Chain A
Amino acid sequence: MLYRSRLLVTILVVLAGLSARAPAQVGDAAKWAEIQKAALAEGGELNVTGPPSPALRAALSAAFKARHGITLNYFADTTSAIVARIDEEFKAKKLSIDAHIGGMSTCWLFAARGQLLDINGKLVDPEILKPGVWRTGAPKLTELSATGTGPNDPKCAFQTTEWVYNSVFENTNVVKTPIKSWNDLLRPEFKDKIVSFDVRSSGPGEPPAAYLAKVMGDDYVKKLYVGQNVKFSTDSRQLAEWVARGEASIGIGLVQFAVEIYRRQGLPIAPVIVDDGFGGASTTGGFGCIMLFKNSPHPNAAQVFANWMGTKEAQEIYEKNMSEKSLRTDVDTGDAVPDYVREQPGVKYLINDYVYSWYIGERAEHLKVLTAELPR
């Protein structure tokens, strides 16, 4: 009798261990149907915040309504304004937002404040959980902390995109000698002729600065930003225009949706791709991370939305309007995503900006060293 009890306990423990190592996202058609029904019973509305792209807003709202019959109230704003609003609403226990589409820095910020739901286990739509749908094998759920990388650990966001943030551009009419290494940016001809998104502000100026500091060292970055007297702006369009017009020879921290406005009209602005053995730039998920809030007014609709954002339909809309490469294997909107942000086969990218330990740790240190050298 004692032997049978021990055997039973052992079997149960083994089974429990096996299930602990099993993936947390399991397609469940019945549960999916139930959640969709509950979402409609919540009033047929959903409040989402996200990047300020009118085209994305319009397309997502129309498609989501058509697909699920739920009105998507998409409030586009700057990330800082969204963070401030949600923080105040949370403190007052009057949260009006159900979900957010954004970057991981925002996700970690919300998570640190205890405002996010664990997204692990929220993806149940069988369509998005089929094998072979994602480049990463399964839907990518980002970690909440450096140690939370296990499949059953609480997760911050559902990351739907991943691309290479090649953010250094040149004016091809002005820059006559090709730039083949990062040290070429220190050439005397580029002094006072380099512009960058302000590295002292949160935004696209930080990733290239951190990448260069990692790959080339902090001294190099000081020589570049300080020694070359880099001019800063927090206006992405202004930066791209300066390079396109030749007012600046080189631009750092430029974003593709601003650059392509000029490239597509044939203006002489082109990416600087340096084969430095580390990929030339870090990879990132951009704004393509979906996060769900605790105590939101429409939790079921929010879950439907998170699942829907993983579908081919939603990913095509997102990729086309944001020029960020989807992680789905069956989504390719062609020219909407420029070549220079696509991961190249065979290239090993050293840095993924959306890894917690890098972002909060070494990256932050490099940026601190650089910003200490700049007026503050």
Chain B
Amino acid sequence: MATLVIEGRSWAATPRFQLFLGILTLTLVAVVTAAPVALVVVGALEGNLWRSVFIDSTINRSAIAYSFLLALRAPVAAVVGFAIAWLLIRVRVPGSRFIEFALWLTFLVPVLPVTLSWILLLSPSYGLINKIAEMLPFVTSPPFNIYSVGGILWVQMLTSSIPVMVVLLAPALRQLDSSFEEVGRISGAKPFGVFCQVTLPILAPAILTGALAGFIKSLETFEVERLLGQPSGIWVYSTRIYDLVSLEPPNFQAAMSLSTFIMFFLLVIAVAYQRVSSRFDYATILGRGTRLEPMQIGRWRYIMSAALFLLIAISLAFPLFMLTVGSCMKLFGFFTIPSPFSLVHWTEVLNDPLFAKALRNSLVVAGGAGFGGVLIYAGLAQIVRRSRLPGRQMVELLAWLPWSIPGILLGISMLWIILTVPALSAIFYGSLTSLVTIIVIAQMPIGVHMIKTSIGQISRELEQSARVSGAGPFSTFVVIVLPLVSPMLVSIFVIVFISALRDISTTIFLANGNSQTLSLLMMQFALSSNLEGAAVIGVITTSIILVVAVVARHFGLEVFGQR
């Protein structure tokens, strides 16, 4: 697509300044993304443990294999998530707003109590569903085993893979003008043909980015895998990393060696993604405005709506029930002990002298990372997608880097950097600023790439009109671009907020006694085998995220006129 180059009148448009700005941006991004990764590579090279990590260790080899097997849920989740987002945004099935909100909520519920809830249902020995099934005359053994690859896939798909795809793809679908499909139908194409030749290519960048993000993140998840996989001898990459860094002393060099495999893999697919996504450059938000006409599918609307409500019941209602009820139980999941319910754990948590400080710290870190992150990601996305600054393609590649190493290795690398550089340690170490910074860095891949995709859906004529009218690049960005991509900004804000509120592995090395967060407090309860106390904090965290998500969606979309 041709780009109209507006000659600026100021020094900011001069080639020299553009070069300076490009190099500055590239340098800053390279420092925050490449430096920690470089440290991991150096650590791996120094350890020289390649043989013991990859060749001598059967567990590590099978962990890598299992990781990729389990990561295949990402493309499946992308397809299912897309279909659900389609039904909610384009078809507008009955109850679509509630269902969309409920899927957001599914994504917000902490993983640990959800996993424990599914164990209560599907454990081969005492799972409720298995017990009921075994009452049937033709069932001779428990039909379900949560401690299996299938169990891990089930929990992950329901609780995070599918909901997060809906959260990421819904904004892209909101920005798809119906007229594109109308033109296809008017030209004689059948609905399926319109879908394949018009709709899918337009949405390909968003779907591709979401699927890739899901694939990479699925390699890093470990709570579910640890609880459900380890007892059956199923190791994955993330649990192996966790095992290696949990040794006394932690074996960081072996963990770093293991992580280089994923790093290499990510670099390859990031380059491939960059090449493929550049072929899809279709704007869906045009100068004449965006029109969303619901698609008509007849009575199928009601059937699809019912199916989605069933999905909500399975993926949200039960875990939320267990999380809330579990926090009010003497013993999580034990309903038959005398007086099973008690508020003693609520009292314990709320009276913990660290609770108020941890709550305040969490809100500061999450809010700071959310707002600051969104602004930084949007700025970088604009540079990558719309500017002609030198080095922007490298910035796009570098933005993937934080996901090439596990959060815990990112954390230890950042600790080393902060402690080594005197200026950094004076400002950052032990402060909430360091926690905000590392969260912003850790979420950069999804933030930059999803917002970049969203910006790509805006027709350039809109920005060009603003520039012709005399607006500078910054004003155009703030007044034209940001409002148009606000649905994605809100999604990214909430995702970063949730990540900050829940993060343990990335922030654990940078927090100290004064900067502890709710997630670290929850970890303390869980490690001391007080799951009920951890569930209390889970309820509190979910409630905070729920309020923030509602406010962010309502306020954010309202302000930018997207409602």
Partner-B contacts on A (CB < 8 A): 47, 51-55, 57-58, 61-62, 73-81, 83-85, 87-89, 91-92, 94, 96, 105-106, 109, 195, 198, 200-202, 231-238, 240, 245-247, 255, 257-258, 261-262, 265-267, 375-376
Whether B298 sits at the interface, judged by CB under 8 Å, is: no
Which 10 pairs from chain A and chain B are nearest by CB?
A73-B513, A92-B419, A202-B248, A52-B527, A237-B529, A258-B529, A247-B125, A52-B524, A80-B250, A75-B513
- A89 and B247 CA atoms in complex are apart in Å by 19
Whether A83 contacts B249 in the complex (CB less than 8 A), given A58-B353, A231-B231, A232-B230, comes out as yes
- 1/0 per residue, CB under 8 A from A, across B186-222: the answer is 0000000000000000000000000000000000000
Name the CB-closest residue of A to B56: A376
- A92 and B354 CA atoms in complex are apart in Å by 29
Whether B338 sits at the interface, judged by CB under 8 Å, is: yes
Whether B67 sits at the interface, judged by CB under 8 Å, is: no
Partner-A contacts on B (CB < 8 A): 56-59, 123, 125-126, 226-227, 230-233, 243, 245-250, 252, 330-331, 334, 337-338, 348, 352-354, 412, 415-416, 419-420, 425, 429-430, 508-509, 511-514, 516, 520-521, 523-531, 533
Name the CB-closest residue of A to B338: A266
- A233 and B247 CA atoms in complex are apart in Å by 14
B250 in contact with A83 (CB, 8 Å):
yes
Extra A-B contacts (4), CB below 8 Å, given A52-B523, A55-B528, A77-B524: A52-B527, A77-B520, A78-B527, A238-B227
Chain A positions within 8 Å of B420 at CB level: 92
B248 in contact with A105 (CB, 8 Å):
yes
Chain B positions within 8 Å of A53 at CB level: 524, 528
B123 in contact with A247 (CB, 8 Å):
yes
A375 in contact with B509 (CB, 8 Å):
no
- A246 and B334 CA atoms in complex are apart in Å by 13
B123 in contact with A85 (CB, 8 Å):
no
Chain A positions within 8 Å of B508 at CB level: 77, 81
B245 in contact with A246 (CB, 8 Å):
no
A235 in contact with B226 (CB, 8 Å):
yes
What are some 23 contacts across the A-B interface (CB < 8 A)?
Answer: A54-B352, A54-B354, A54-B521, A55-B348, A57-B354, A61-B353, A75-B513, A78-B527, A80-B249, A84-B245, A85-B509, A88-B412, A96-B512, A106-B248, A202-B247, A233-B230, A237-B529, A238-B227, A245-B123, A245-B126, A247-B125, A257-B528, A265-B331
CB distance from A76 to the nearest CB of B (A): 5
- A266 and B337 CA atoms in complex are apart in Å by 8
Chain B positions within 8 Å of A262 at CB level: 331
Q: Which of B512, B523, B531, B533 is in CB contact (< 8 Å) with A47?
A: B512
Whether A96 contacts B430 in the complex (CB less than 8 A), given A57-B524, A80-B249, comes out as yes
Chain B positions within 8 Å of A257 at CB level: 528-529
Chain A positions within 8 Å of B509 at CB level: 81, 84-85, 88
B230 in contact with A54 (CB, 8 Å):
no
Chain B positions within 8 Å of A84 at CB level: 245, 249-250, 252, 412, 509
Chain B positions within 8 Å of A201 at CB level: 243, 246-247
- A268 and B209 CA atoms in complex are apart in Å by 51
- A62 and B416 CA atoms in complex are apart in Å by 33
Chain B positions within 8 Å of A235 at CB level: 226-227
A47 in contact with B529 (CB, 8 Å):
no
CB distance from B134 to the nearest CB of A (A): 15
Name the CB-closest residue of A to B57: A376
B233 in contact with A54 (CB, 8 Å):
no
CB distance from A90 to the nearest CB of B (A): 10
- A201 and B226 CA atoms in complex are apart in Å by 14
- A47 and B126 CA atoms in complex are apart in Å by 45
Interface-central residue, A80, A195, A267, by most chain B CB under 10 Å: A80
- A243 and B416 CA atoms in complex are apart in Å by 42
Chain B positions within 8 Å of A77 at CB level: 508, 520, 524
CB distance from B86 to the nearest CB of A (A): 39
Chain A positions within 8 Å of B233 at CB level: 375
Chain A positions within 8 Å of B348 at CB level: 54-55
- A52 and B425 CA atoms in complex are apart in Å by 26
CB distance from B436 to the nearest CB of A (A): 19
Name the CB-closest residue of B to A79: B248
Chain A positions within 8 Å of B247 at CB level: 80, 201-202
CB distance from A71 to the nearest CB of B (A): 9
- A58 and B419 CA atoms in complex are apart in Å by 29
Chain B positions within 8 Å of A105 at CB level: 248
Chain A positions within 8 Å of B230 at CB level: 198, 232-234
Name the CB-closest residue of A to B340: A265
Name the CB-closest residue of B to A87: B249
- A155 and B412 CA atoms in complex are apart in Å by 30
- A81 and B527 CA atoms in complex are apart in Å by 13
Chain A positions within 8 Å of B232 at CB level: 231
- A73 and B412 CA atoms in complex are apart in Å by 22
Chain B positions within 8 Å of A375 at CB level: 58-59, 233
Chain B positions within 8 Å of A57 at CB level: 354, 524
A75 in contact with B523 (CB, 8 Å):
no
Chain B positions within 8 Å of A231 at CB level: 231-232
CB distance from B123 to the nearest CB of A (A): 7
